[in-house]
Amino acid sequence: MKIAYALSTILILVSCSKHSNQEKYQKNRNNVIDVSNQLIDTKLDTKLMFGAQTVLHVIKDYLIVCDHQNPEKGIHLFNKNTFEYITSTGLKGHGPGEIVRYGHIGIDNENGLFYVTDFGKMTAFKFVLDSVLINPNYMPSEDFSIIKDLFPATFAFVNDSIIVGNGLDIIDNRNFNSTLVRYNIRTEVIEKIGKPNPDIDTKNRSTYFSLSREQAICVETFADYDLLTIRDLEGNTIKHVHGPQWGEKERAFQYYSIVSILNDKIVAAFLGEQGVVLDDVQQQKSVFPTKLLIFDINGEYLQTLETGGDIFYFCADLDNDRIILSFYDRENQFAYIDLNKL
């Protein structure tokens, strides 16, 4: 009896210690650097008449700008070093090879491929980068289906066949649970991985995701919680990072949005205020984050970059060690921050 009691006590202590090591609580994030005067305008080709909602991705030497509001071709490629316009692709429509509704763009950088999910046709189209660059009339091929009851809303490639990402576990036509998923796009076998933080509600919650094959981690951030979760590529929790506003005004406030892993840093857009307010004529108005939080890959807070502009989206340019941003309200919509000069 004494031996059994001792063993059970040891197991409890080990379990509690492991859980404790997974939880990090940060009481302040006061190392704020104003970078509004260090934003470098990209001067992208303005003839394209970008809409306000543009999503950015980097693949090899190119910057992809996806304009969800473009009625014809909404995927534009630029030289990521010079920002020179190269070509446009992704024809909108209902015909073969045409996209009804742009979804997520998944990058397979190693193989020079990018995938665009179509939430209208519930499929993912494969784009071969080299072919897109030389053929202005390039049409993608359908590559894998989007499973309706459980599918990856955003994702990244672990290898040629496996993607991991933020999945939507559909409850009914109005409700879903946000969950981490692993999807074999060749066999079309999808599964939930990882366990959510037990202190959050995943129902109808916006979650953001980034993955680094080099660092062998993936990161989740949450719109309704001051929480950043770091996992390994199997979905096992490495660290739950709770910020100073954890547990204060969940649901009423907007916290995180886009997150990206830049070499050995985690970069996340953060608001920490009400996400919707009333304007002068009592109409609802969205409030966008203006700052980026910088963490190391273990979740230790390093600094806050205050951009002074409403950030709609951003992406990491690993080769140039910089962050490229799309703003909602700025005169020049696109700019970048050179982290080497901070």
Determine the pLDDT at residue 3: 53
Which pLDDT does position 269 carry in this prediction? 98
Q: Is 45 helix (H, G, I), strand (E, B) or coil?
A: coil
Confidence of residue 49 (pLDDT cuts 50, 70, 90): confident
Output the six-digit token pair for 165: 């990402």
**What is the rounded CA–CA span in Å between residue 143 and residue 147?**
13
pLDDT tens for each residue of 109-129: 999 999 999 999 999 999 999
The residue-averaged pLDDT of 326-342 equals 91
Using the 8-state DSSP alphabet, how is residue 1 labeled?
A: -
Is there a contact between 337 and 39 (Cβ–Cβ < 8 Å)? yes
**Which letter does DSSP use for residue 52 in this model?**
S
Q: What is the pLDDT of residues 63-95, one digit of tens each?
A: 999 998 888 999 999 999 999 999 999 999 999
Q: Where are the domains of the chain?
A: 52-144
Residue 203 DSSP label: B
Taking the model in full, what pTM does it have? 0.91
CATH number listed for the domain at residues 52-144 = 2.40.10
Query: What span, in angstroms and rounded, lies between the C-alpha atoms of 295 and 264?
Result: 9
- Kindly give the residue spans of alpha helices, DSSP state H, lying in the chain: 2-22, 129-134
Q: Alpha-carbon distance 209 to 228, whole Å?
A: 10
Q: How many CB atoms lie within 10 A of CB 300?
A: 13
SS3 335: strand
Q: Do residues 127 and 121 make contact, with C-beta atoms less than 8 angstroms apart?
A: no
Q: What is the pLDDT of residue 52?
A: 84
205 C-beta neighbours (distance < 10 Å), count: 17
CA distance 159 to 146: 18
What is the model's pLDDT at position 252? 82
Angstrom distance (rounded) from CA 322 to CA 318: 7
Sheet with 141-145, strands from edge to edge, namely 102-108, 113-118, 123-128, 141-145
Q: Extract the tokens encoding 5.
A: 């009691």
Q: Using CA atoms, how far apart are residues 230 and 221, in angstroms rounded to an integer?
A: 9
Q: How far apart are CA 220 and CA 181, in angstroms?
A: 12
Return d(Cα 68, Cα 52) in angstroms, integer.
Answer: 9
Per DSSP, the residues of 59-127 read ETTEEEEEETT-SSEEEEEEETTT--EEEEEEEBSSSTT-BSSEEEEEEETTTTEEEEEETTTTEEEEE
Amino acid at 110: E
From 39-48, 103-112, 166-175, 268-277, the region with the lowest mean pLDDT: 39-48
Q: How many Cα atoms within 13 Å fall on the side-chain side of residue 79?
A: 7
What's the mean per-residue pLDDT of the chain? 91
| Banded pLDDT at 15 (limits 50, 70, 90) | very low
Residue 154 bridge partners (DSSP): 166
